[in-house]
Structures are given as C-alpha cells and as structure tokens.
Structure 1
C-alpha cells in the first residue's frame, strides 16, 4: 500500500488527467534536487520513495509517498498515469530503474525523464520507451572539465554537441564589431549576446562592438567553441 506522508491536493486526485504536476520517483541526490527545486518554484510535485528513512528526511519539506514504484499496482494507486511528467531518479539499481520506466511506458505516460548512470543503462531506457534520458554525473563532469580549464565562465551542452557558453572575448575581437571580427566565418560559432559591466544584457547584432571587459554568450558545437575559447 502506498503511504501518503504529505497530502497532495485532494482536488488533483479526482478524475483522470486532472493533475498538472510532476511525479518524481526516487529521492536520491538527483531526484531530491529536482523535487525540492520544483517545489520551491511553486510547481506541483509528488515524490515517491520506498525507503522510510529517506521519506522521513523529506516528509516535512515536499509531498512524499512511501511506495515501491517497481510495482504497477503501487503506481496505479498513486494515480501515476494522470501525471503528464514523471522523473525516474533511480540510479543505484538498474533493475528498479528499468522496471519503473517500463511500468510508466505501459501506462502511457506522456513525458518520462529517466536518470542513467552509464551509456548502456541509457540505451536500455531509450529502447523501452523513456522520452528523455539524463546523465547527471557525466554532464556535470563534462561541464566542470570545461570550466576548470579557465577559458569558460559557464558551459551548458544542450543536445548532440550543441552548446552555449559564457566567456571573455578573445583579444582579436576586442574593439571590433561582430561583423568586423567575422567570428562565425572564422570559427563557426555564433555570438548570441553581450553583457557589458553595469549594463543590461543585449542580444548581439553584426553592429555590436565588443570590448575587453564584456562577457559573451556564444553558441555552437562544443569542439568549435573550445577552439574559439582557446584564442588568446
């Protein structure tokens, strides 16, 4: 039986598809970060965890349910099929991760976001029907590796190598407009915006002039961005 520790809105329990929140399965570091952030942002969230100890840690902070989500019956009791978004944050057990994701696929869940801890794990999740597979450790490792190089101030890989970075302008661009610098022609990347000290962020145009103190927001393939950021 599912044990509801913090009641989700009763109004959301009546009728199929009436819920508009996010169901988070697993309250490890990944799942708990998502659940608490969603709650802080004012989003409806319900977290499912089978460990009583972990439930006690979060029961007074977010709506929680003690249940074994590998059981289709438990998910049915929770009304899991009524949630438009479900995050499977289980990473410690590949079997549990696959079972929960498979159960959600069978229920016809509209959007399943699942955590993977390896490439093989991710391929399995994709094959059984997860809509989005996330590799939090690998993604964080890649981001930190780019940041500790000292060339980039922020790094976000969106998908398939397409990346957005925040960086200081190379010397060869300083004092010139974007058109004059020919950044896209030379390096294959696009300056999206420029932030000057004490000024608002502005979207870049060919006439935007870059100074040494500016911050650039640049997009493109990660390899091309690394090449551009490596310029002195």
Structure 2
C-alpha cells in the first residue's frame, strides 16, 4: 500500500509535453517559467537544437511506446500532445499515453474529425488552438468585447465596456441579469484594483466589466449602445 501511494504522488508531479511546434513550445515554455516540472519530447533535430538549453528536453520519437517508457513517461501525471499536423503520429502518441494510464491527456486537434478520433481513443481534453483562436478574435473584432473566453458548453466570460444604460447606476438599479441573462462578476475602474461586483456596485462610463453567461446572451448584451 505505501508503494502505491508513493507511485501516485510521483505521477501527480510534472507535465510531459510532446512536440515543440508553436503550440507545444508555448505550453512547455510557459510551464517552465511558472516553475512547473516539465519535460519536452521532440523528434525533429532542428527543433531539438532550437530549444536545447532553454527547456528540459529529450530527443525521442514518442510514437514508439518503448521510447516513452525509456524517458519515464509513466511518472508524469499530465501529458500534452502538441503534435497536430501529423495525424498518424498524433493518434499513436495519444494511444501510447492512454495505454500507460496517464491520468490527464491534453491533445491538439486540427479538425473535428481529428478531435473525435483523439476522444475515442482516450484523450481527456481535446484542444483546437487555431479554431478557438479564430473564434475568439472574431468576437473581439465584431463588437465591444475586449476579451473573450469560452469555458464550456457555451458558458463564456468576457471583458467589456458598460453599455450606456448602466452608466451612473448601481447593478441593482440597472438589473441587467434580469433583462439580459448575464452576470457582472467584477468591475475595474481606472486607477483602482479589480473588485468583485455587488448589487451596490456603481458603474461609470470608464469602467471595465467582467461578465459571464451564455455566449449568445453576452453577444447581445455587448452590442447594446
């Protein structure tokens, strides 16, 4: 029993990042800067040379299960498969990690079909970086939103300027939750710290709002003059 607990603690630590393209390198670099225990795996000699000395890095072909075993992949609680353009390699690597029982597997997909395959073979989280980024930018350029994060199943958090009908009123007075179905989480006034919103929070024209709700409701609300 003690041996099992020790093994579980070991697997809880560290993130294995496979593939050092733009997506994988951004994740590995950020985790490393945050002080996380991260190990990157890359088979392309050019990318290995580019990142050598900048990240904890192993040159290996992760589509080979023996290579993953040798680099200690079983010791990681989280794995990120950043390989996307090579569909076969992406599926093989993800499948290898599933077979090893990796507790959390995040895998990059470049299409809906690719994502469905990764989900079916056992990836816990499938990420569509290009599609997600495109959707986010579309929302930012088409309205008054200053930031846009879709969390799950349409639930979204946005940063925006307040519509005129809110300016000079408290949240209780404007009652936007009842009118538009969105919730103001917090308010940031110029030169002050972010505060969590209460019914008594008064909104001015120069404030920034952080709001949550369904994407469609937030889109309608942000389009208000």
Q: Same fold (TM over 0.5)?
A: yes
Structure-2 separation of matches of 1:30 and 1:16 = 30
Q: Deviations over 1:199-231 (max 9, x none)?
A: 111100111111111100000111110000000
Report the counterpart of residue 194 of structure 2 in structure 1. Answer: 201
Report the counterpart of residue 99 of structure 2 in structure 1. Answer: 106
Does residue 92 of structure 1 match 2:92?
A: no
Q: Secondary structure at the match of 2:165?
A: helix
Q: Deviations over 1:11-64 (max 9, x none)?
A: xxxx85535111000001000000011111111111000111110000110011
Question: Which of these residues, 146, 151, 156, is aligned with residue 149 of structure 2?
Answer: 156
Does residue 212 of structure 1 match 2:205?
A: yes
Structure 2 runs not aligned, ≥5 long: 1-5
Does residue 22 of structure 1 match 2:15?
A: yes
Report the counterpart of residue 47 of structure 1 in structure 2. Answer: 40
Question: Which of these residues, 53, 63, 66, is aligned with residue 70 of structure 1?
Answer: 63
What TM-score do you get using the length of structure 2 for normalisation? Answer: 0.94
Q: Secondary structure at the match of 1:86?
A: strand
What TM-score do you get using the length of structure 1 for normalisation? Answer: 0.92
Contact 2:40 2:58 in 1 (8 A): yes
Report the counterpart of residue 79 of structure 1 in structure 2. Answer: 72
Structure-1 separation of matches of 2:219 and 2:116 = 28
State the superposition RMSD in angstroms: 1.1
Structure 1 runs not aligned, ≥5 long: 1-14
Question: How far 1:154 moved relative to its partner?
Answer: 0.7
Structure-2 separation of matches of 1:142 and 1:31 = 20
Question: How far 1:106 moved relative to its partner?
Answer: 0.6
Structure-1 separation of matches of 2:16 and 2:45 = 18
Regions of 4+ moved over 2 Å: 15-19
Contact 2:42 2:60 in 1 (8 A): yes
Structure-2 separation of matches of 1:176 and 1:120 = 48
Structure-2 separation of matches of 1:127 and 1:160 = 19
Report the counterpart of residue 34 of structure 1 in structure 2. Answer: 27
Contact 2:98 2:123 in 1 (8 A): yes
Q: Secondary structure at the match of 1:68?
A: coil
Contact 2:143 2:222 in 1 (8 A): no
Q: Deviations over 1:113-163 (max 9, x none)?
A: 000111111111111110111110011001111111241111111111111
